[in-house]
Amino acid sequence: MDKVGKFYRSIDVELPRRSTPGSAGYDFYAPHDIVIPAGSSVQFNTGVCVNIVDGWVLMLFPRSSLGMKGIRIANTTGIIDSDYTYPIGCKLVNDSEDDISIRTGERYMQGIFLQYGITEDDEPVNKGRKGGMGSTGK
């Protein structure tokens, strides 16, 4: 397997890791107790940063067990580019009729590293990132 990234902490939190040798996803662990009221959302700092090799991306998905309860990531799939070096944020939405609690250290999201390509007519980009989440379109 290629080594394509390295997680590190921005706050005291358990770093993402795979649960089994066959797991594609790296489980993220709650940095603190999180309560997501029914029909509402909560945004927080995961406490995790990542260095990613060029040509790869980290995609973030809710864990299946939470998805079955009505929890989703606000932007459906998180995309962490290789030049994003800030702490990863997460916004979870509760579409259920019940409040959902996630305890400190509980797994709530998983990240999968994927390789990507560019088109033949892709033009070189000379601009660097000038901010955090969602900044490239500003």
The count of other CB atoms within 10 Å of the CB of residue 45 is 15
Do 28 and 107 contact (CB within 8 A), yes or no? yes
Domain assignment present for residue 5? The answer is no
Does residue 2 lie within any of the structural domains? Answer: no
Range of the domain at 81: 25-116
* Domain-located, residue 86: yes
Kindly tell me the sign of the dihedral angle through the C-alpha atoms of 128, 129, 134, 135: negative
What's the structural domain count of the chain?
1
| Residue 41 included in any domain | yes
Q: How many CB atoms lie within 10 A of CB 72?
A: 17
In a domain, 52, yes or no: yes
Residue 96, in any domain of the structure: yes
Q: Is 46 in contact with 85 (CB distance < 8 Å)?
A: no
Provide the CA 43 distance to its chain's centre, in angstroms. Answer: 12
If one compares 135 and 90, the residue with the highest pLDDT of the two is: 90
Indicate whether 132 pLDDT > 90. Answer: no
Is 123 a member of any domain?
no
Which CATH number characterizes residue 52's domain?
2.70.40.10
What DSSP element (H or E) covers 43?
A: strand 41-45
pLDDT tens readout for residues 86-103: 999 999 999 999 999 999
pLDDT tens string 17-42: 999 999 999 999 999 999 999 999 99
pLDDT band at 58 (very low <50, low <70, confident <90, very high): very high
Average pLDDT, the chain: 92
Residue 81: inside a domain = yes
| Alpha-carbon gap, residue 115 to 106, rounded angstroms | 28
